[in-house]
C-alpha cells in the first residue's frame, strides 16, 4: 500500500495525541525504544511518560521482517503518529530503503542512525531525508568513539547517543562504571565541541529500579543528559534522576532572586558560573515541571 493511500485514514484510526506538555528533543531525558514489529503498541508508547519515542527498525527487528516493520512504522507516521525512528546503518542493504520510505512523512520527528562511525554517514542520511530532518548519531563502536568529535560537527547532527551494548561487544569492555566512563566522557566532550546538546546514554537492561537509578545518576554525573530505555516502567525513574531536584530548583530561584535584588552586580569570580548553573536549572525546571521545595 502506498504512503499516499495510508494518509486517507478515518478519524477513528488516527493515533491519539499525548495530553502532557511536550519536552523539546534538545533536552529530552527519556527515549523509549519500541520494536517496529510491535505496531499495536505504538499508540501506547506515544501516550507514555517518555519524553520521546523511537520506533526501532534496526536491532529490534529480524532482518526478514525489516521491510514489513518499516512499512508499518511509515503507515503510523503518515496516519497521525509522531516519533523518531532508529534506522539501519549506512553499510547495510536496508539503509537506503529506510530513508526513502521515511522521507517527508509528517509524523517523523527525526531518525537515530545506528552504528555511526563517520561524519559523512550522518550528512548523507540528512541529505537523503531532505535536508531538514534531525539525525541522532548512535555511536556503538571503538571507531565511532574515536570519530565522535567529527560526527558531532557533521551537518545534520542533532545529538549523539551511546550504544553501550554494542560498544562493549566491539571492545570487550565490561559493564563496570569505571570501564565505561571513558566512552561516555568522549561523547560528552565531543557534543560540547560540536555545539550539540548533551548526549543520550545507552539503556539499562533489567527491571531493577535501584540499578536503573544508580546507572542514570552515573550518566548525569558524567554530563549525559538523556537515556535510552526499553520499558515504560523505567520512564519515571529516568525522568526523575535526569531532572533537577526540587532542592536544586530552590537554590537556583534563591540565587536568581538575590542576583536581581542586588542589581545584577557580579561580586566575585564564582558568580558567573553560579549564574549560568542557576539559569540552566531554572530552564530545565520549567520544561520538566519541577517546583522548588
Query: Do residues 184 and 162 make contact, with C-beta atoms less than 8 angstroms apart?
Result: yes
> Partners of 10 in the beta sheet?
none
Query: What is the pLDDT averaged over residues 218-234?
Result: 97
- By residue count, the chain amounts to 293
> What pLDDT is stored for residue 14 in this prediction?
53
As a whole number of angstroms, the distance between CA 237 and CA 213 comes to 6
Tell me the pLDDT band of 19, cut-offs 50, 70 and 90: low
**202 vs 15 pLDDT, higher one:** 202
Vertex 282 angle, CA 278 and 288, to 5°: 140
Query: Do residues 137 and 151 make contact, with C-beta atoms less than 8 angstroms apart?
Result: yes
Count the Cβ atoms, other than its own, within 10 Å of residue 23: 18
> What pLDDT is stored for residue 176 in this prediction?
93
pLDDT at 53 over 80: yes
Residue recorded with cell 574515536 = 146
> What pLDDT is stored for residue 220 in this prediction?
97
Tell me the pLDDT band of 4, cut-offs 50, 70 and 90: very low
> What pLDDT is stored for residue 5 in this prediction?
45
Domains belonging to the chain, first-starting first, are 3-242 (3.20.20.60), 246-288 (no CATH)
The grid coordinates listed for 271 are 558568580
Q: Which of 18-22, 66-70, 102-106, 286-290 has the lowest mean pLDDT?
A: 18-22
Contacts of residue 241, defined as CB under 8 A and 6 or more positions apart, other chains included, come to 213, 216, 217, 220
Rg over alpha carbons for the chain, rounded to the nearest Å, is 20
Give the model confidence (pLDDT) of 239-264 as tens digits.
999 999 999 999 999 988 888 888 88
Query: What is the pLDDT averaged over residues 117-143?
Result: 98
Give the model confidence (pLDDT) of 167-176 as tens digits.
999 999 999 9
Residue 143's nearest CA partner among 168, 112, 116, 179 is: 116
The grid coordinates listed for 163 are 550504544
pLDDT at 12 over 60: no
> What pLDDT is stored for residue 6 in this prediction?
42
Tell me the pLDDT band of 236, cut-offs 50, 70 and 90: very high
pLDDT at 265 over 50: yes
Give the model confidence (pLDDT) of 75-102 as tens digits.
999 999 999 999 999 999 999 999 999 9
pLDDT at 8 over 60: no
Query: What is the pLDDT averaged over residues 50-55?
Result: 98
Residue 87's nearest CA partner among 103, 75, 76, 64 is: 103
Q: Which of 109-113, 151-155, 216-220, 278-282 has the lowest mean pLDDT?
A: 278-282
Query: What is the pLDDT averaged over residues 17-41?
Result: 89
Three-state secondary structure call for residue 204: coil
Amino acid at each position: 500500500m502506498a504512503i499516499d493511500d495510508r494518509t486517507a485514514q478515518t478519524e477513528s484510526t488516527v493515533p491519539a495525541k499525548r495530553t502532557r506538555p511536550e519536552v523539546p528533543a534538545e533536552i529530552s531525558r527519556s527515549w523509549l525504544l519500541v520494536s517496529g514489529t510491535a505496531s499495536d503498541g505504538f499508540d501506547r508508547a506515544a501516550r507514555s511518560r517518555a519524553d520521546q519515542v523511537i520506533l526501532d527498525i534496526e536491532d529490534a527487528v529480524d532482518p526478514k521482517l525489516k521491510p514489513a516493520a518499516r512499512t508499518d512504522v511509515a503507515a503510523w507516521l503518515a496516519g497521525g503518529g509522531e516519533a523518531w525512528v532508529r534506522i539501519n546503518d549506512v553499510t547495510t542493504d536496508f539503509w537506503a530503503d529506510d530513508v526513502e520510505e521515511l522521507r517527508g512523512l509528517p509524523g517523523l520527528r527525526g531518525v537515530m542512525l545506528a552504528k555511526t562511525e563517520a561524519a559523512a554517514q550522518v550528512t548523507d542520511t540528512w541529505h537523503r531525508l531532505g535536508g531538514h530532518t534531525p539525525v541522532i548519531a548512535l555511536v556503538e563502536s571503538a571507531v565511532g568513539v574515536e570519530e565522535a568529535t567529527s560526527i558531532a560537527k557533521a551537518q545534520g547532527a542533532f545529538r549523539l547517543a551511546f550504544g553501550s551494548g554494542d560498544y562493549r561487544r566491539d571492545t570487550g569492555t565490561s559493564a563496570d562504571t569505571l570501564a565505561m566512563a571513558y566512552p561516555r566522557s568522549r561523547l560528552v566532550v565531543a557534543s560540547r565541541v560540536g555545539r550539540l546538546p548533551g548526549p543520550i546514554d545507552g539503556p539499562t537492561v533489567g527491571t531493577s529500579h535501584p540499578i536503573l537509578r544508580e546507572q542514570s545518576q552515573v550518566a548525569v554525573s558524567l554530563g549525559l543528559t538523556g537515556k535510552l530505555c526499553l520499558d515504560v516502567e523505567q520512564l519515571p525513574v529516568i525522568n526523575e534522576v535526569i531532572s533537577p531536584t526540587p532542592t536544586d530548583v530552590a537554590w537556583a530561584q534563591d540565587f536568581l532572586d538575590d542576583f536581581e535584588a542586588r542589581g545584577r552586580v557580579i561580586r566575585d569570580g564564582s558568580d558567573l558560573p553560579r549564574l549560568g548553573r542557576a539559569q540552566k536549572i531554572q530552564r530545565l525546571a520549567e520544561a520538566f515541571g519541577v517546583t522548588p521545595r
